[in-house]
Amino acid sequence: MTTLTRHQSHFVDGAWVPGGSPELIDVVNPATTEVIGVVPAGTADDVDAAVRAAHAAFPAWAATPVAVRAEYLAAISRGIQARVEELADLITRDLGCPHPMALLGQAGRAHLPLDLAAELVRGFEFESTVGTATLVREPIGVVGAITPWNFPLMQVTGKVAPALAAGCTVVLKPSEVTPLAAYVFAEIVREVGLPAGVFNLVQGYGPVVGEAIVAHPLVDMISFTGSTAVGKRVSVVGGQTVKRVALELGGKSANILLDDVDLEEAVTNGVGACFLNTGQVCAALTRMLIPRSRLAEVGEIAVRAAETYTVGDPFAPGTVLGPLVSATQLDRVRGYIELGIEEGATLLTGGSAPVEGQKGYFVRPTVFTDVEPGMTIEREEIFGPVLSIIAYDDEDDAVRIANDSIYGLSGGVSSADRERAVAVAKRLRTGQIRINGSSGFDPLAPFGGYKQSGLGREWGVLGFEEFLEVKAVL
């Protein structure tokens, strides 16, 4: 066994403390299937200790001057930037993310939520007047932050930064699949001297640690990112204590290419918007909607683009697609590919066969055409590099197909006429729309979904305000 790191403690009340159970969770490198580390399997008692520490620390932290809170955030940001190479290496081994993306798109961006929150809170008006009332915005209290495996550091800072800026204290449970970067974050928090109990980390499985955080009566808010199925459970359990629940869940986002678009550019960009992070992105544009008359042409372009995505060792130069995160995820994605074939979609490239010469959890970049509305691969979130090409008859039909989904997280519209694209975007029931191949990333813009893609928003002012209560003083 190659051991990268061995952690048997949680971070509670400003110190590393042993867990209440001797059980450990293996952390597996998905590119090699080797165990690279272990973390403790936390218990409900571990959660209780962390929540009580956060609860005790809350009054003093909430009363801490805004400028002081902002400086702590800035110091944590500097700590992340100083260790960005180490973090990128860790994320590549933990997640399987190709190293250039881990460096630039994962670890390299992880400081941004801290910088944004520090700047935002310095200028935020916590008091305002409406009629005869003074509205006072106050931190909601103890926040339980439950983060996913696909962005193991960005999602941590994306939740913790605005919560701390608002004056809340935090108990974090990162995914047990990619838990290692959260330890570095906790080390940085300790090094900058954040007061004890303001930030706490408990590792473990969702049904144990996650459930205990959501159910705990001293937790005032849950910020959860993950699957829609688990998000529903979070809503049910959180509802027992009527706590605020912010959910960023799944997606099956449509990318509409209008009939006047430059297909070569739009299709190539669309393939990239589907395959980012080996397709393990909730906002991936996995349904490409194109004019029926252009179906064959779009398929040819998509295949050319997909076949440029080199699959392999995430540390090797030129690798664009690393492995999927786990054996479970590999089985899931292969199952969807086989189901797409069974239901009558046409497989243009890729497929479920093993990738030659690779030991880990690799899957081929896959493109289907002749995908009909209602097929499983058109309806359900696959979370892998699988693109479904769907034909539409006219603009109204494209909007109908795009909106006919239980999800509403992201989407795209491309046209030679930007105003036309924006007009179509306004008809889509989804939380974010990329126009003409934009990146879909602006830290000032809110992110979140309609329908079963979630509740609430992250990023920007709206994301910050999720962590505040409003009091009217008359």
Same domain, 416 and 323: yes
What pLDDT sits at residue 5? 59
Give dist(CA 373, CA 392) in Å, integer: 10
Is 282 catalytic? The answer is yes
What pLDDT sits at residue 7? 79
Same domain, 263 and 127: no
220 inside domain: yes
Mean of all residue pLDDT scores within the chain: 96
Q: Would you say 460 and 438 are in contact if contact means Cβ atoms under 8 Å apart?
A: no
Mean pLDDT (10-residue bins), the chain, 474 residues: 65 95 96 95 98 98 98 98 97 97 96 97 96 97 98 98 98 97 97 98 98 98 97 97 97 98 97 97 97 97 97 96 97 98 98 92 98 98 98 98 98 98 98 92 93 96 97 97
Calculate the CA 48 to chain-centre distance.
Answer: 26
Same domain, 465 and 340: no
| DSSP label of 262 | -
Smallest Cα–Cα separation from 301: which of 246, 262, 273, 329? Answer: 262
Same domain, 14 and 46: yes
448 inside domain: no
Pairing of strands 199-201, 169-173: parallel
| Cα dihedral across residues 342, 344, 253, 407: positive or negative | negative
Catalytic-role residue among 176, 282, 381, 458: 282
Is 168 catalytic? The answer is no
447 inside domain: no
CATH number at residue 375: 3.40.309.10
What pLDDT sits at residue 107? 97
Same domain, 276 and 324: yes
Catalytic-role residue among 97, 176, 211, 248: 248
DSSP 51-88: HHHHHHHHHHHHTS-HHHHHHHHHHHHHHHHHTHHHHH
What pLDDT sits at residue 439? 82
- The parent domain of residue 121 ranges over 5-249+453-473
167's tokens:
């004056």
What pLDDT sits at residue 6? 67
Instruction: Give CA separation, 128 vs 64, 125, 131, 135, 463, in Å.
Output: 20, 7, 10, 5, 19
Instruction: Give CA separation, 174 vs 56, 73, 177, 263, in Å.
Output: 22, 19, 9, 40
Same domain, 189 and 338: no
Round to the nearest angstrom and report the end-to-end CA distance of the chain.
65
Same domain, 55 and 197: yes
